[in-house]
Amino acid sequence: MSDTPAPVLEDNPVYLANSQRAQENKPPSRGTPLGAVAAARFRADTHEEMVAGIRSLDAGLVAGQFGTIHYKPVTVCGIDLKLEPLQPSIGTVVHGIDLARDLDSPEMVTFLRNLWLERRVIMFRDQNHLTHQDMVTFARHFGELGVRYGEPGHEPNSPRDLSNQINIPGVPEMLVLVSDERAAGAASAWHCDATWQKRPPMGSVLMCREAPPVGGDTCFCDCYAMWEGLSPETKQRVEHLTARHVGGVIHQMDGKTPESIHPVARTHPETGRTVLYVQQGFVKGFAPEHGIAPDEERALLQQMKLQEGRLEYTCRFRWEPGSIAMWDNRAVLHSASADFWPHRRRMERLTILDHDEARRTPYYAPAKP
Ligand SMILES: [Fe+2]
């Protein structure tokens, strides 16, 4: 069993502020995907009616497994693993491993790292027995442990971020994301984590402690395919441009919104391949030095945005308590699906920094023809 009791939030001022609409008996705003999908599921004028309606739709769901999947059996360090590809190019669930016990061998770590580089994101099931410290130990096999938003030195302290109010004793690096009936929320825009930092984290590890009975999946999108999918004209125009990545209100530090400039085409520092490094969750435009006119900027951003979330580039991961995803922030975007309200969802995240400091700053080194 997990040693991770749910945080107590009922007296927390940020939780109460985020619960304002619920206190006024108003359903979530239909101006957000979360509110729109809730209204589409059950039409009601009050919070209470909508919650009751959606809960009745989802009543009677039980956990179970059926059906077949295709998987590749492999044996690593004497351990029989089953590798389940979620989509042809992206995402593999690794079955048959205990992350608290089976990573002592460098060979297993190397195997998982290579799989992670190849598949952009790898997932695990049935790991709810991992303690917070076990999660730290797991993350450290792949790099240096980052703080909540990656590199130390920028640690958001926005009083509006509920996750800032939650502390895991002994593991200050862990970000806890809780959403429930009263304070709803999900990171439901395509993004890589903390690209408003000068040196964004290499990877993220996300553990699910409490899962909704349906919904709340996380989707991942392949940034290599996003680059390949641009027209030759757009590629040529944007290849040497840089873009402005601006954090949100919850990422403010001492009231200041963080911002960084990164290349539009980025060379993955380990695979050497090119990714489209524009995630319109954070990218607000091109660097001013390029002098790009607003009309052209809009058109180019639109071209790039058309690549976000194309079905063929994405995979979707269904969470269960104890499911873990570890993704490469240099090669995939991710987005939570904000469709699970009013159910509860509790996640824990760690970030991983590259051991090699020279590889942490995004750069573009075009391949020689
Ligand atoms: Fe994220």
Other C-beta atoms closer than 10 Å to the C-beta of 283 total: 21
Using one digit for the tens of pLDDT, what is the confidence trace for 358-367?
Answer: 999 999 998 7
Q: How far is the CA of 281 from the centre of ligand 1 (A)?
A: 10
Q: How far is the CA of 329 from the centre of ligand 1 (A)?
A: 9
Q: How far is the CA of 333 from the centre of ligand 1 (A)?
A: 8
Q: How far is the CA of 192 from the centre of ligand 1 (A)?
A: 6
Residue 158 pLDDT exceeds 90: no
What is the pLDDT, as a whole number, of residue 2?
Answer: 58
Tell me, what DSSP letter sits at residue 281?
T
Is pLDDT larger for residue 347 or for residue 64?
Answer: 347
Residues 6+ apart with CB under 8 A from 129: 1, 2, 100, 322
Using one digit for the tens of pLDDT, what is the confidence trace for 81-134?
Answer: 999 999 999 999 999 999 999 999 999 999 999 999 999 999 999 999 999 999
Average pLDDT over residues 186-214: 95
Using one digit for the tens of pLDDT, what is the confidence trace for 270-284?
Answer: 999 999 999 988 999
Q: What is the strand order of the sheet 218-222 is part of? A: 314-317, 218-222, 332-336
Q: How far is the CA of 233 from the centre of ligand 1 (A)?
A: 31
Query: Would you call 246 exposed, middle or buried from its count of C-beta atoms within 10 A (0-12, 13-18, 19+)?
Result: middle
CA pair distance 38, 100, nearest whole angstrom: 38
Question: Which residue from 248, 234, 213, 236 is spatially nearest to 321, judged by alpha carbons?
Answer: 213
Residue 262 pLDDT exceeds 60: yes
Instruction: For the full predicted model, state whether its pTM sits above 0.75.
Output: yes
Q: How far is the CA of 348 from the centre of ligand 1 (A)?
A: 11
Hey, what domains does the chain have and what are their CATH numbers? 13-58 (no CATH), 142-369 (3.60.130.10)
Q: How far is the CA of 74 from the centre of ligand 1 (A)?
A: 31
Q: How far is the CA of 366 from the centre of ligand 1 (A)?
A: 28
Average pLDDT, the chain: 94
Using one digit for the tens of pLDDT, what is the confidence trace for 213-257?
Answer: 999 999 999 999 999 999 999 999 999 999 999 999 889 989 999
Average pLDDT over residues 185-191: 89
Q: How far is the CA of 290 from the centre of ligand 1 (A)?
A: 29
Using one digit for the tens of pLDDT, what is the confidence trace for 300-329?
Answer: 999 999 999 999 999 999 999 999 999 999
Residue 368 pLDDT exceeds 80: no
What is the pLDDT, as a whole number, of residue 182?
Answer: 92
Q: How far is the CA of 193 from the centre of ligand 1 (A)?
A: 5
